[in-house]
């Protein structure tokens, strides 16, 4: 038996706001492997998430295979678009969903972790963050502001988090993120500059793997996950079609589960993957390997 054992490790999963997406499944997989899990949540979604937890609305999803309940050591507010409070616009700082939260920036998150757990509080950081305000627009119609916003939230946020959290990681630390194959192939309907942001994320993964590896001994990888119909992905507008199309045309003709991404994350961040860094790991039923469709689109809006 060769188990994934993360007992005694502390994980931060940034980008958990409900029980429906990859972030939740990733956090749950880390907990199942024995890790202590902290999560960071976008401030506008934080109160809703906390209320759902407190009222027991997520209890079914919190059930672990051994009968216990998924628990989080801490739930932090995080808007990873902002590096520090000084650079945060006044209208954000004064917004009712932000102003009572203290320092919700990446600097603030780093400071809270040190205050709560000491100088080197982390073993694993998982970046499950992405946002493209104009994701439904074709690239030919995207504004400069929309394009840069997608890059800031979805790609530079990883760079900023590694800059600030890398020094807080214990020896043998690992960082991982989520990408999508629109980084390397055209996916009609996945717009707003998000394909560019994912390409940046993958390029940055390789460079960060070198720099963070040499500086702190930290590994950096990214998971290229197949389409999954989470609440966040519904913003794309064609996610159900994407899921069905990929399932019909993959070597393994079935839909991807969030758990499959979660268990891959646990493996990549475990000592079992100690020689893997700078890699994009595909978890998509093999769809990335196909060069021609084998089944027709299921809807008129399907990619052509």
Q: What is the pLDDT of residues 218-254, one digit of tens each?
A: 999 999 999 988 777 677 767 888 899 999 999 999 9
- Report pLDDT digits (tens) over 6-18: 999 999 999 999 9
User: Is residue 64 one of the residues assigned to a domain?
Assistant: yes
Q: Over the chain, what is the mean pLDDT?
A: 94
* pLDDT attached to residue 298: 56
Q: CA end-to-end span of the chain, whole Å?
A: 45
**Average pLDDT for residues 163-187, to the nearest whole number?**
97
User: Is residue 67 one of the residues assigned to a domain?
Assistant: yes
Q: Are 12 and 126 in contact (CB under 8 A)?
A: yes
- Report pLDDT digits (tens) over 106-118: 999 999 999 999 9
Residue 301: pLDDT over 50 = no
Q: Which positions are annotated as active-site residues?
A: 180, 190
Q: Which of 84, 173, 162, 177 is nearest to 129 (CA)?
A: 177
Q: Are 220 and 276 in contact (CB under 8 A)?
A: no
Residue 146: pLDDT over 80 = yes
* pLDDT attached to residue 229: 81
Instruction: Give the torsion through C-alpha atoms of 11, 38, 158, 271, to 10 deg.
Output: 10
Residue 86: pLDDT over 70 = yes
Which position has the token pair 């030919």?
140
Residue 56: pLDDT over 90 = yes
Q: In whole angstroms, how far apart are CA 150 and each of 43, 136, 144, 153?
A: 18, 12, 10, 5
What are 207's two structure tokens?
């460079």
Which CATH number characterizes residue 64's domain?
3.40.50.720
User: Is residue 299 one of the residues assigned to a domain?
Assistant: no
pTM (two decimals): 0.94
Distance CA 277, CA 219 (A): 5
* pLDDT attached to residue 109: 98
Q: DSSP string covering 116-185, please? A: HH-SS-EEEEEE-----TTTTS-GGG--HHHHHHHHIIIIIHHHHHHHHHGGGEEEEEEEEEEE-GGGTS
Please tell me whether residue 241 adopts helix, strand or coil conformation: helix
User: Is residue 294 one of the residues assigned to a domain?
Assistant: no
Q: Are 223 and 281 in contact (CB under 8 A)?
A: yes
**Average pLDDT for residues 40-45, to the nearest whole number?**
97
Which position has the token pair 């209208």?
91
pLDDT tier at 296 (50, 70, 90 boundaries)? low
Q: Which of 268, 242, 264 is nearest to 255 (CA)?
A: 242
For residue 137, give its domain range.
10-289
User: Is residue 45 one of the residues assigned to a domain?
Assistant: yes
Please tell me whether residue 107 adopts helix, strand or coil conformation: helix
User: Is residue 261 one of the residues assigned to a domain?
Assistant: yes
User: Is residue 298 one of the residues assigned to a domain?
Assistant: no
User: Is residue 270 one of the residues assigned to a domain?
Assistant: yes
**Average pLDDT for residues 253-274, to the nearest whole number?**
97
Total domains present in the chain? 1
* pLDDT attached to residue 303: 45
Query: Computed over its alpha carbons, how large is the radius of gyration of the chain?
Result: 19
């Amino acid at each position: 038996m060769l188990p994934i054992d993360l007992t005694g490790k502390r994980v931060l999963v940034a980008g958990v706001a409900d029980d429906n997406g990859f972030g939740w499944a990733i956090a749950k997989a880390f907990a199942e492997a024995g890790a202590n899990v902290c999560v960071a949540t976008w401030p506008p979604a934080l109160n809703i998430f906390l209320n759902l937890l407190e009222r027991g609305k997520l209890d079914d999803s919190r059930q672990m295979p051994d009968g216990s309940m998924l628990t989080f050591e801490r739930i932090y507010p995080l808007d990873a678009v902002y590096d520090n409070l000084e650079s945060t616009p006044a209208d954000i700082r004064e917004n009712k969903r932000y102003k009572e939260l203290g320092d919700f920036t990446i600097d603030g998150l780093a400071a809270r972790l040190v205050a709560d757990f000491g100088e080197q509080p982390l073993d694993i950081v998982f970046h499950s963050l992405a946002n493209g305000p104009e994701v439904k627009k074709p690239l030919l119609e995207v504004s400069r502001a929309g394009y840069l916003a997608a890059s800031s939230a979805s790609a530079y946020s990883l760079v900023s988090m590694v800059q600030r959290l890398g020094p807080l990681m214990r020896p043998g630390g690992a960082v991982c993120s989520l990408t999508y194959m629109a980084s390397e192939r055209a996916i009609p309907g996945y717009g707003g500059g998000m394909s560019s942001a994912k390409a940046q994320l993958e390029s940055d993964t390789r460079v960060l793997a070198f720099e963070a590896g040499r500086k702190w001994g930290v590994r950096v990888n990214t998971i290229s996950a197949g389409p999954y119909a989470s609440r966040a992905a519904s913003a794309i507008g064609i996610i159900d079609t994407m899921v069905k199309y990929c399932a019909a045309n993959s070597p393994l003709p079935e839909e991807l589960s969030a758990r499959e991404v979660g268990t891959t994350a646990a493996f990549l961040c475990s000592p079992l993957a100690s020689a893997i860094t700078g890699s994009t790991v595909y978890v998509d039923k093999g769809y990335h390997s196909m060069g021609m469709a084998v089944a027709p689109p299921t809807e008129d809006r399907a990619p052509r």
